[in-house]
Amino acid sequence: MLRWEFVLSSAVLANGAQELTLKPGASERVVVKLAAPEVRHVSQVDLRVALLRGDEVRARDQIVLRVYPAWDPKPILTLLEHKRIGIADPSGRVAKMLADSGLTGGAMTTVSDTL
């Protein structure tokens, strides 16, 4: 049996178990889907797994994950509502992120375009 738990600051966010049918020396792929918790700052989340035979723990492992807060566009949108600024964005990703948040802009050709 494979047991797992997803832990943030000693709080178990999710856990589960799956029966395995492994022969000696064999391996089996197990997919564990986890929903990232909403956090206010970068947080460490541990995925703890244990392999059991009956009640006996045969192996343990812990995978340390970092969870980042969702991007909050409000502070930058407030700033951009009242200012003209230039953003170097050759990939276009920042423009798309801002447009998805309801903010649009125009292309600039020189630094003086922002003045």
The domain segmentation of the chain, as residue ranges, is 2-67, 74-114
pLDDT for 44: 93
pLDDT for 113: 57
pLDDT for 112: 65
pLDDT for 16: 93
The CB-based long-range contact list for 8-11 (8 Å cut-off, 24+ gap) reads: 8/37, 8/39, 8/43, 8/44, 8/45, 8/46, 8/67, 9/43
pLDDT for 110: 66
The Cα angle at residue 83 between residues 69 and 106, in degrees rounded to 5: 90
Whose CA is closest to 88, among 54, 111, 65?
111
| Intervals of the chain under pLDDT 70 | 84-85, 107-115
Please tell me whether the overall predicted TM-score, pTM, comes out greater than 0.75 for this model: no
